[in-house]
């Protein structure tokens, strides 16, 4: 099974983003997704910067896929989307049917992102006919769902599963980071840049629950399916996705790249925020199922 | 502009028609729709009855099929489409591309409305669904401003329906996993957001604690107005701010009655009232007010603004049935975003 690095969901400075991907380039990771998937108001990195990063990573032997915006509301966002889809060099991850539309029009193959709501085999087969080469399993689905969907014909298209990192849970018109700072979205001053891992949100009993990242809401806990990698591989999953959270990812990538070490990996059970793995085991996503630790 | 009202049972359906609904949407008594609550919704026989009533009164009836077909159980969703075709219902409201595909190939004459759960918010996405499945109409997610709705209406390849009143979902519908993160069930999979069997209220001293699968969503005083507990309407803390805050949204409902002129001028085909889970009394109350408001706009568009001012009882009637007795324009208003 290959490792992939999902798109960066946070708004980091251009410098921090370049430093991160320069470090990524030195790892053994197979595939890197690049692009702004959350908010078109974030302009730290522009299209040409992403292409520069893409070339930097490609030169180091990585496969690069350009990710596209998840919530598309305006004509200008569609123009930018079309530019990315028709870039002519790199594959794309479609995170909205608008991207699928542009890709099919131009007969360009695409990776179906986690928010296209492909919840059964028939839907995946329709997308496959339209040019889908791979799909990212919707986050809330389980290994049982995947087994059933891949049964009989696991190789028609590739499957990727989010295996490590904070889980994107929702997208809104409202920017929760700006709201927290009593700013309207139109004058947000890109306040989300102050939160490189989002705003940790806890219940009134100090239970970490969510992470507010601009218009996106994420899980407070990281999903951790490292100890499920051989099971995934046996089911026909071809990519294990890590969602970027910081330079600490680099050590993690190297650790998981060493398959034997990965098998011995333990879940993080200590500290304030425990990992979670509920979705994979068909439980509430926030759950940590300890019975499956091998 | 069509007034489209919810019905969770035959009593609500009759209430909606009596109060002046042009059309009603309803769902089957199973997980094929996102209001899969015990005691709610229609058997196949009841839908047949509903369809006869609608035809007698020359109203429209739409079948809501807005969850995603579960692997191994696809036939349950397909049979619902078969039923809609057999009863000659006016449309099926659907988000799953495999079902849109099935319906458009099997019953080309059956009108398809793209459910809000498909999260289609732009002309390229709408065009995709139009080209692939020949959808006739799309329900817009509650994430667009009025300006964006108007811009989209100018170029949309299909008719548009918008949410006019009811519970306010603040996320792009169909792409929200907050409920399943906490309870294991989401509208997409289990057929409900924040399922009731995971909700627990607890009295501790003078506080009322609201829990969802044991997670503390809110702590309030006994006399505070409470909404239905959902993750996005809870009060939480951050590391730098210990005073609990509605970090996402407070318990409030959507009310767009003041937008009727703009929505009408934009050519919006249908105004949707949320609330299949609500009582027949709610349906009557809300339908009556909206019927009067739409009619008075039709009769005299220029004076509608004044009419609205002279009818404070419309607002008070709607507020009374609103969550937290508070209403908002939500994302339609830029400031809210």
Q: Could you read off the pLDDT of A34-65 as tens digits, one per residue?
A: 999 999 999 999 999 999 999 999 999 999 99
pLDDT at A103 over 50: yes
pLDDT at A294 over 50: no
Q: Are B108 and B232 part of one and the same domain?
A: no
Q: Are B257 and B119 part of one and the same domain?
A: yes
Q: Helices A143-150 and A121-130: crossing angle, nearest 10°?
A: 60
| pLDDT the model gives residue A76 | 96
| pLDDT the model gives residue B192 | 87
- Please state, in angstroms and rounded to a whole number, the distance separating the CA atoms of residues A79 and A70: 14
Q: Judge whether B174 lies within some domain.
A: no
pLDDT at A261 over 90: no
> Residue A150: its chain B contacts at CB < 8 A?
none
**Residue numbers of A between 65 and 94 with CB closer than 8 Å to B:** 70-75, 77-78, 81
Spans in chain B with pLDDT lower than 50: none
Q: Are B239 and B265 part of one and the same domain?
A: no
Q: Are B121 and B195 part of one and the same domain?
A: no
Residue B5 is labelled as binding a ligand: no
Q: Is B247 on the interface with A (CB under 8 A)?
A: yes
Gap from A197 CA to chain B (nearest CA, Å):
13
Mean per-residue pLDDT for A268-280?
78
Total domains present in chain B? 2
Which stretches within B114-231 are classed as H helix? Answer: 123-133, 146-155, 178-183
DSSP chain A: -EEEE----S---HHHHHHHHHHHHTS--SEEEES--S-TT--SS-HHHHHHHHHHHHHTT-EEEEE--SS--SHHHHHHHHHHHT-SSSEEEE-SHHHHHHHHHTT--EEE-TTS---SHHHHHHHHHHTEEEEEPPTT--HHHHHHHHTT-TTSSEEEEEEEEEEEEEEBSS-HHHHHTT--GGG-TTGGGG-TT-EEEE-TT--EEEEEETTEEEEEEEEE-GGGHHHHHHHT--EEEE---STHHHHHHHHHHSHHHHHTPPP--SSSS--B-TGGGTS-TT---GGG--
Place of tokens 């359906």: B13
Q: Which of B246, B268, B289 is the last residue before a domain boundary?
A: B246
- Please state, in angstroms and rounded to a whole number, the distance separating the CA atoms of residues B17 and B290: 13
| pLDDT the model gives residue A154 | 76
> Residue A73: its chain B contacts at CB < 8 A?
121-122, 143-144, 148
Q: A259, A119 in Cβ contact below 8 A?
A: no
Q: Are B86 and B214 part of one and the same domain?
A: no
Gap from A238 CA to chain B (nearest CA, Å):
21
pLDDT at A260 over 70: no
| pLDDT the model gives residue B263 | 97
Burial of A74 (0-12, 13-18, 19+ CB in 10 A): middle
Q: Are B139 and B56 part of one and the same domain?
A: yes
Place of tokens 């949309």: B156
Specify the CATH number for the domain of residue B46. Answer: 3.20.20.70
| pLDDT the model gives residue A292 | 63
Q: Are B128 and B203 part of one and the same domain?
A: no
Q: Judge whether B180 lies within some domain.
A: no
Q: Assign a CATH topology to domain A2-292.
A: TIM Barrel (3.20.20)
pLDDT at A71 over 90: yes
Q: Are B207 and B133 part of one and the same domain?
A: no
Q: How far is CA B111 from CA B105, B106, B120, B130, B158, in A?
A: 12, 12, 18, 12, 12
pLDDT at A264 over 70: no
B278 phi, psi to nearest 5 deg: -90, 170
pLDDT at A213 over 90: yes
Q: Are B198 and B238 part of one and the same domain?
A: yes
CA angle A185, B149, B337 (to 5 degrees): 15
Gap from B207 CA to chain A (nearest CA, Å):
12
| A102/B172 Cβ within 8 A | no
Cα dihedral B195, B198, B203, B206 sign = negative
> Residue B121: its chain A contacts at CB < 8 A?
71-73, 96
Q: Which domain holds residue B200?
A: 188-246
| B170/A172 Cβ within 8 A | yes
Residue A11 is labelled as binding a ligand: no
Place of tokens 């940590």: A288
Q: How far is CA B264 from CA B141, B171, B290, B300, in A?
A: 18, 25, 13, 13
| A118/B125 Cβ within 8 A | no
Tokens of residue B328, six digits: 């908002």
Residue B64 DSSP code? E
Q: Give the chain A residue whose CA is nearest to the CA of B209.
A: A204
Residue A175 is labelled as binding a ligand: yes
Name which of A78, A170, A284 is nearest B184 (Cβ-Cβ): A284
Q: Are B53 and B201 part of one and the same domain?
A: no
Q: Is B220 on the interface with A (CB under 8 A)?
A: no
| pLDDT the model gives residue A293 | 53
- Please state, in angstroms and rounded to a whole number, the distance separating the CA atoms of residues A6 and A49: 17
Name which of A81, A96, A123 is nearest B96 (Cβ-Cβ): A123
**Residue numbers of A between 9 and 48 with CB closer than 8 Å to B:** none
Q: A11, A42 in Cβ contact below 8 A?
A: yes
């Amino acid at each position: 099974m290959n490792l992939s690095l999902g798109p960066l969901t946070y708004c980091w400075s251009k410098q921090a983003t370049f430093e991160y991907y320069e470090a990524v380039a030195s790892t053994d990771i197979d595939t890197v997704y690049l692009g702004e998937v959350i908010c078109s108001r974030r302009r730290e990195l522009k299209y040409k910067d992403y292409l520069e990063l893409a070339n930097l990573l490609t030169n180091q032997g990585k496969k690069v896929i350009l990710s596209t915006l998840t919530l598309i509301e305006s004509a200008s966002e569609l123009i930018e989307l079309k530019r990315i889809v028709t870039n002519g060099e790199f594959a794309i991850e479609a995170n909205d049917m608008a991207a699928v539309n542009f890709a099919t029009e131009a007969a360009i193959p695409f990776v179906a992102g986690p928010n296209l709501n492909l919840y059964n085999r028939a839907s995946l087969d329709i997308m496959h006919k339209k040019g889908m080469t791979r799909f990212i399993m919707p986050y809330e689905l389980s290994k049982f769902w995947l087994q059933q969907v891949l049964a009989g014909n696991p190789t028609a298209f590739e499957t990727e599963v989010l295996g490590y990192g904070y889980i994107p849970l929702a997208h809104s018109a409202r920017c929760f980071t700006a709201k927290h700072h009593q700013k309207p979205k139109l004058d947000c001053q890109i306040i989300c840049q102050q939160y490189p891992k989002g705003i940790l949100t806890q219940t009134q009993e100090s239970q970490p629950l969510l992470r507010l990242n601009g218009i996106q809401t994420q899980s407070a806990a990281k999903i951790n399916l490292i100890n499920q990698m051989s099971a995934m591989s046996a089911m026909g999953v071809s990519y294990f996705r890590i969602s970027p959270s910081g330079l600490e990812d680099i050590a993690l990538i190297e650790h998981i790249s060493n398959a034997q070490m990965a098998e011995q990996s333990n879940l993080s059970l200590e500290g304030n925020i425990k990992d979670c793995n509920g979705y994979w085991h068909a439980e509430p996503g926030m759950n940590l199922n300890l019975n499956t630790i091998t | 502009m069509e007034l489209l009202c919810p019905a969770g049972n035959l009593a609500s359906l009759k209430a909606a028609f009596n109060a002046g609904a042009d059309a009603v949407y309803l769902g089957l008594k199973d997980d094929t729709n996102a209001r899969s609550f015990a005691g709610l919704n229609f058997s196949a026989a009841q839908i047949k009855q509903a369809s006869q009533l609608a035809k007698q009164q020359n109203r429209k009836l739409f079948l809501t099929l807005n969850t995603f077909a579960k692997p191994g159980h696809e036939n349950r969703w397909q049979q619902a489409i078969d039923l809609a075709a057999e009863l000659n219902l006016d449309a099926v409201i659907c988000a799953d591309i495999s079902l849109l595909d099935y319906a458009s190939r099997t019953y080309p004459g059956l009108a398809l409305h793209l459910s809000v759960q498909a999260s289609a918010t732009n002309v390229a996405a709408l065009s995709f669904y139009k080209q692939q499945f020949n959808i006739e109409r799309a329900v817009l997610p509650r994430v667009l401003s009025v300006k964006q709705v108007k811009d989209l209406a100018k170029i949309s390849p299909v008719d548009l329906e918008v949410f006019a009143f009811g519970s306010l979902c603040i996320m792009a519908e169909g792409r929200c996993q907050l409920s399943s993160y906490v309870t294991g069930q989401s509208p997409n999979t289990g057929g409900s957001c924040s399922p009731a069997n995971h909700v627990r209220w607890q009295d501790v001293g003078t506080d009322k604690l609201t829990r969802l699968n044991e997670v503390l969503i809110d702590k309030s005083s006994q006399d505070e107005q409470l909404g239905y507990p959902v993750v996005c309407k809870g009060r939480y803390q951050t590391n730098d701010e210990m005073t609990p805050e509605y970090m996402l949204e407070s318990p409030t409902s959507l009310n767009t009655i003041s937008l009727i002129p703009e929505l009408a001028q934009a050519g919006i085909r249908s105004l949707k009232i949320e609330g299949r889970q609500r009582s027949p009394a709610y349906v009557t109350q809300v339908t009556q007010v909206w019927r009067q408001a739409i009619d008075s706009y039709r009769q005299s568009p220029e004076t509608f603004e004044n009419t609205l001012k002279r009818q404070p009882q419309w607002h008070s009637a709607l507020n009374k049935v609103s969550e937290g007795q508070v209403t908002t324009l939500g994302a339609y208003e830029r400031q809210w975003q």
